[in-house]
Structure 1
């Protein structure tokens, strides 16, 4: 039997530049039974993402609405159906939804998606942020055999997957950026990256010139700022630059990430710059899951992640993610 109450993480107050524990509140609330057409889900795993920080601000022009103080935070979660009256779901079914940051969720059945556990060696891998990285590599940049590819934030949830697919698609030289020597070692040993640029160990452009002296053909950018500008400086003719994130701005509490663009370089070298939002490509989600899960089963892909236990760990997990302390996708088991 489900409990009469559960815990959820709420936005206590909108943060300014600095985010701290005081901006979160863990509340105990009554558990509401589902009405006909609704589903009660016990959340098993929730994903912590940098976008949560952006949505804590009173942001405008984003594909999702900002969080409201006093209301629970949202985020992708994997859960188990407890009850689903008047629906095609059954108790015990695994489902994915966007009402994480809480131990239980009661929501319309139309807002959940059934997950086939036989498809996934670890069902939590369905929460991978790699969809955006796969789209960048496969659908936008369309990597060709022999391309030199740069993935910024390559040890993050998106970057880890983008780097692996870049190699599978034939990248001739694969370069990544990260924030520590520990992560650089992981990228070199575990993901087969050829060279790693480490933030803080000298100007990024100089590091990139040494790692890719002939320039780059493809950029998958999750960071922005100096790293994007360095890639643009080293972009070869007809290079494809794909922007899937802006962690440099998000980590600092901003909702903007500004860089200077040399438009003459863009047109004279035929460089394309594409902004990519995974929300615009929902029709490709099934194909992505098929390929990613097959790679995990066959051992050609991995799902780097960290998993923490307890709903009270979620706020600290976000703070640590923004500070660059975690590697891969960050997951929290809320119960």
Structure 2
């Protein structure tokens, strides 16, 4: 069955990778172009992007360095998760007007197979949450913490980048499970948010000159679980405080994504390995997709319930206009965003009156 509606534009604004960055990305690494609308074939959909997710992993896709996924080719559309409206459907699986979760990247319109998108129910929660607390970031927090971190009641869980979409969920889930959450963020506003809005028992500013001493004071009995999002100086402060049999889920290393060489100083690998050995630490890198089959359904049920009863709160940072995606992305890598960062690419047919960026 084929059904269509008239697109808002006769052309498609795209953002492509113009060149591979050396160090921090710049606007020159991106190229914008008005292109013709794609045409769906059998079993395909024409999608109009409403929201585009911006996430730290995208920095890795801009590089040719070995990783768990192929890089975006130079000249290719920047990749990313999206919430879209179906504009044309050459399939019986979807109808025009359906809202779907896709991975169509930095562009206004895209064609996708009906087998790689998932319908979103706008009555269940705001559709933005499919890119945040009910989507990949939320699931990353849920699986990484509960499967690898395995927090026990009364244990101390420390999480870096705690005001971000992953870190904020980690801390709140830890507390739901009876653990003590210590959040680390950058700047007084984010620290205040963790304590007053999200209910973290302790929140610390990693930019503070007394951060190392403050972390020691906040963890008098050591750290049982450290959820790693940052690396660098934060990890350096945390490692000596890890307890025997401590667990470290390694989700991200955002402080290192723009590095072009190894850091100066002595080789600290022997010290790290010695600490892992003598404290019997579990250090486990992970990509959320490896847990989807076993845990995604539980996540959807649990997180929806926690949102409904107010045990989990979230914050979104929405930037208007696809043309602003490069600047917003570079700012995110510096820590400028406050909450789940996304670009509003087009009109949201599910939206009511304008709302604040913080939701609960």
TM over 0.5: yes
The answer for the alignment partner of 2:159 in structure 1 is 151
Residue 197 (structure 1) aligns with: 204
Q: Which runs of 4+ in 1 moved over 6 A?
A: 255-259
**Structure 2 residue corresponding to 1:327, chosen from 338, 341, 347:** 338
What TM-score comes out, normalization by structure 1 length? 0.93
Q: What is the CA distance between 1:38 and its match in structure 2? A: 0.7
For the residues of structure 2 that align with 1:45 and 1:200, how far apart are their CA atoms? Answer: 32
Paired with 1:118 and 1:286, the residues of 2 have a C-alpha distance of 19
Choose which of 125, 132, 138 in structure 1 pairs with 2:129: 125
The Cα of 1:30 is off from its aligned counterpart by 0.5
Mark the CA change 1:213 to 1:293 in structure 2 (over 3 Å): closer, same or farther: same
Cα deviation for residue 226 of structure 1 reads 2.1
User: Mean Cα displacement is larger for which, 41-50 or 264-273?
Assistant: 264-273
Task: Say which is worse superposed, 198-207 or 300-309, in terms of deviation.
Answer: 198-207
Please give the alpha-carbon distance, in whole angstroms, between the structure 2 residues aligned to 1:49 and 1:326.
Answer: 11
**2:149 pairs with 1:141:** yes
Q: CA deviation at 1:18?
A: 2.7
2-structure distance, mates of 1:269, 1:156:
29
Residue number among 146, 170, 173 corresponding to 1:165 in the alignment: 173
Question: Matched residue of 1:84: which SS?
Answer: strand
Alignment of 1:89-128 (within 5 A): 89-120=94-125, 122-128=126-132
For 2:354, the equivalent position in structure 1 comes to none
* Corresponding residue of 1:212: 219
Residue 232 (structure 1) aligned to one of 239, 249, 258: 239
Contact 2:160–2:227 at 8 Å: present in 1 too? yes
Q: What is the CA distance between 1:146 and its match in structure 2?
A: 0.3
Higher relative contact order (CA 8 A, sep 6+): 1
2:228 to 221, 224, 229: 221
CA contact (8 A) 1:101 1:311 kept: yes
Q: CA deviation at 1:163?
A: 0.9
Tell me the SS of whatever aligns to 2:274.
helix
- SS of match in other structure, 1:59: coil
Cα offsets for 1:17-41 (capped at 9, x unmatched): 1311111111111002211111111
Choose the corresponding residue for 1:290, options 277, 301, 311.
301
Question: Any stretches of 5+ residues in structure 1 without a counterpart?
Answer: none
1:49 aligns with: 55
What secondary structure sits across from 1:214 in the alignment? coil
Tell me the equivalent position of 1:14.
Answer: 20
d(CA) in 2 for partners of 1:133, 1:203: 28
Count of aligned residue pairs for this structure pair: 331
User: Is contact 1:188–1:194 with CA below 8 Å preserved after alignment?
Assistant: yes
Q: Per the alignment, do residues 253 and 34 of structure 1 end up closer, same or farther by CA in structure 2, a change over 3 Å counting? A: farther
CA deviation map 1:147-174 (0-9, x unaligned): 1110011011210111111111111x32
Whole-angstrom CA distance in 2 between matches of 1:214 and 1:298: 31
Deviation string 1:34-72 (CA, Å, 9 cap, x unpaired) is 111111111111100111112111121x22211122221
Q: CA deviation at 1:203?
A: 5.8
Name the SS of the counterpart of 1:240 in structure 2. Answer: strand
Mapped pair 1:70 → 2:70? no
Cα distance in 2, alignment partners of residues 96 and 63 from structure 1? 22
How far apart, CA to CA, are the structure 1 residues paired with 2:303 and 2:111? 29
Q: 1:83 is matched with which residue?
A: 88
For 1:180, the equivalent position in structure 2 comes to 187
Distance 2:216 2:76 in 1: 47
1:273 aligned to 275, 283, 297, which one? 283
